[in-house]
Chains A and B, each alone.
Chain A
Amino acid sequence: MRNLRLIARLDIKGPNLIKGIHLEGLRVIGSPSEHALRYYQQGADELIYMDCVASLYGRNHLADIVSSAVKDIFVPMTVGGGIRSVEDATQILRAGADKVAVNTAAVANPGLITRIAHRFGSQCMVLSIEAKQTGPERWEVYTDNGRERTGLDVIEWAKSGVELGAGEVLLTSVDKEGTRKGFDCALVKAVTAEVSVPVIASGGMGKPYDLLAVVNEGHADAVAMADILHYQRATIGDIRAVARGAGFGVRGFTHVAH
């Protein structure tokens, strides 16, 4: 039986939870804390917070949001966006995050992956990859919330990131993100086939059944969901039921005590 983690993803810009299509046209959705609490209460296994303008300011703004979230939310939190140094990671982890996700800074300075992994352990170092298809079975790594090309090949980059110490990969398909057309299963499969660490598939989940293909064919260890939750197309309970019905191992969950 395949085990599957259901992760709610919250992209944050300034004070707001936001959502785009292909990481573009970022709509203001509402308050990050209200949404995070709702997903926790619905039974999310983990939360991912992404500060998607952090690289613009050169710093992560999420420490405050995270330190207030940990008072009510008791599932693992991954926080990414603008983490450029071990000190930045330390600050985010002190605020209460369990893992840090690094994309732009890791591309610019791959040694950062190793330094964070040495300091806090690989389980804490998530390599975030924004992948855009450039040809058959070929994807390019993007940075800056899907705005800048890097010329790096996604599969090669995932492999070297794991060798450098990343303990998990958050794999976002820019092509599918926000489209509600299902995950990029070929992308997820291509990466899971090459790395030994867990891979979180992100981008494209429009309905609960979309997770079947990405788990069965793509061998994703976890799915990150945003649009489907933010626009209330389904609850995590609905999604959990579909996952369980498909025979995936999901966490037993009834409700969160208030």
Chain B
Amino acid sequence: MKRNLIELYKLPAEVKFCKKCTVSNQRPRITFDEQGVCSACNFAEHKRQHIDWVTREAELVDLCNRFRKGNGEYDVIVPCSGGKDGGFVAHQLKYRYGMNPLAVTWAPLKATAIGRQNLDAFIASGFNHILGTPNPVVTKRLTHLAFKHLGDPFQPFIYGQTNFPLHTAVKHNVRLIVYGENGEVEYGGDMKNANKPTRDIQDHDKHYFSGIPPEFWKEHGVSLADLYPFMAPRYEQILDNQTEIHFFSYYKFWDPQENFYYCKENTGFMPNPERSQGTYSKYASLDDQIDGFHYYLSYIKFGIGRATSDAAHEIRDGKITREEGVALVKRYDHEFPTRYYKEFLEFCSITDAEVHEVIDSWRSDHIWKHEAGEWKLRHAVWRGYHA
């Protein structure tokens, strides 16, 4: 089977790379300006030059004052895996802004030891915390289905990561949910919320679920009871609760590397002992054995692997030069996640041959060509790069 990615994800047929970073116009919803610069790079400049962060912090203080209850109940839900980003948000809200947060974690599909260690260290640094763990039999089934049909084994996790905080908010009578960064704005995507602190719950299907919400899997024989933990609360419940979702990155300058320093100091965070496959970093997205396959499939579908994304935002953040970013992409982007491959096959009850059949079905002709028995990228940011 061959899929039409251009149509599915509304991709431009002609691949172009941003003049400033490493990302291409194949990232869904990203836009490029007339100078060939991506929306994320333009936003990175905007946030450094035009946003008054003193005013924004004052807005944060107002927000906290508006939602602080003072009756012992939780004031705010902070979704957090125990990593550097959620850890930073939760710790700041509690210890700097005097909020009473409830930290919530949606369990990784298949946790890593370092991820669990970091979550424990984060909780131990002083937080009330709830872990949402769905039935692993169902999770495995959904992971299998999502990989086969969407080419993304990570989708079941995204469901819970997005919807579990909403359930917790409704259940605990908490109106405010604060996430870390607005990925659409920071990393490229829909810019409609660039100057807004909130995220619209109506956008969840489009921005986070690729248009396929949990209920979709009924079609594939998964029962509503099994899907329930992955689904959002009923829409009236969310409205009745007057739930608001805010991004911390609207209020405070967002710099993932500085979050690492903050959490190293405050929440006992430890980076991975070795870099994650597909990229060079040791401190990001390290709690799930399955997520390497999410990034790898992104490399297949869009030609945008994990190193491309990491390098792009580090270039925008002034941590590395474009030349280094391009070299990092060349070295790591194509790397197959072999470290947890056996676990992945087992988790999804799938064979190596089936995996490659799925992978090849997502190779679009405008991204890949088959030459001398090998798949090759038609366009690479490192090809013809002279610096």
Contacts and interface: CB of A to CB of B under 8 A. Distances in A.
Interface of A: 13-15, 21-22, 24-28, 53, 56-57, 132, 142, 146-149, 179
Interface of B: 257, 260-261, 264, 270-271, 273-275, 280-283, 318-321, 323-324, 327-328, 331
Contacts of A13: 320, 324
A13 B331 CA distance: 17
Which 4 pairs from chain A and chain B are nearest by CB?
A: A147-B275, A25-B260, A24-B282, A24-B271
Contacts of B275: 147-148
Nearest to B259: A25
Nearest to A145: B280
Contacts of B321: 14-15
Given A21-B261, A27-B257, A56-B327, A147 B320 contact: no
Contacts of A26: 257, 319
Contacts of B264: 21, 25, 179
B257 A56 contact: no
A53 B324 contact: yes
20 contacts: A13-B320, A14-B324, A15-B321, A21-B271, A22-B270, A24-B281, A24-B282, A24-B283, A25-B257, A25-B264, A26-B257, A27-B257, A27-B261, A27-B319, A28-B318, A132-B273, A142-B274, A148-B274, A148-B275, A179-B264
B271 A56 contact: no
A26 B260 CA distance: 10
B282 A22 contact: yes
Contacts of A25: 257, 260-261, 264, 271, 283
B328 to A, nearest CB: 7
B324 A149 contact: no
A21 B319 CA distance: 14
Given A13-B320, A21-B264, A25-B261, A57 B274 contact: no
Given A24-B283, A147-B274, A147-B275, A56 B320 contact: no
Nearest to A149: B274
Given A24-B281, A25-B261, A142-B274, 7 more contacts: A13-B324, A21-B260, A21-B264, A21-B271, A24-B283, A147-B275, A148-B275
A53 B280 CA distance: 11
Contact of A147 (B257, B280, B318, B324): B280
Nearest to B330: A56
A28 B319 contact: yes
Determine which residue in A21, A26, A149 has the highest number of CB atoms from chain B within 10 A of its CB, and name it.
Answer: A21
A11 B264 CA distance: 21
Contacts of A57: 327
Main secondary structure of the interface of B (DSSP, over half): loop
A185 B280 CA distance: 29
Contacts of A149: 273-274
A188 B26 CA distance: 50
A14 B320 contact: yes
A53 B320 CA distance: 10
Determine which residue in B274, B283, B321 has the highest number of CB atoms from chain A within 10 A of its CB, and name it.
Answer: B274
Contacts of B280: 147
Nearest to B276: A147
A56 B311 CA distance: 14
Nearest to A26: B319
Nearest to B317: A28
B20 to A, nearest CB: 16
Contacts of A28: 318-319
A248 B282 CA distance: 38
Nearest to A25: B260
A234 B140 CA distance: 54
B324 A56 contact: yes
Contacts of A15: 321
Nearest to B84: A25
B338 to A, nearest CB: 14
B282 A147 contact: yes
Given A24-B260, A25-B257, A25-B260, A14 B323 contact: yes
Contacts of B273: 132, 149
Contacts of A146: 282
B385 to A, nearest CB: 12
Nearest to A142: B274
Contacts of A132: 273
A18 B156 CA distance: 39
B123 to A, nearest CB: 22
A136 B35 CA distance: 56
A147 B274 CA distance: 5
A26 B282 CA distance: 11
A133 B19 CA distance: 42
Nearest to A14: B321
B256 to A, nearest CB: 9
Contacts of A21: 260-261, 264, 271
Contacts of A142: 274
A56 B274 contact: no
Determine which residue in B319, B327, B328, B331 has the highest number of CB atoms from chain A within 10 A of its CB, and name it.
Answer: B319
Contacts of A179: 264
Nearest to A15: B321
A26 B270 CA distance: 15
A147 B323 CA distance: 20
A137 B273 CA distance: 17
Contacts of B281: 24
Contacts of B261: 21, 25, 27
Nearest to B260: A25
Contacts of B331: 56
Contacts of B257: 25-27
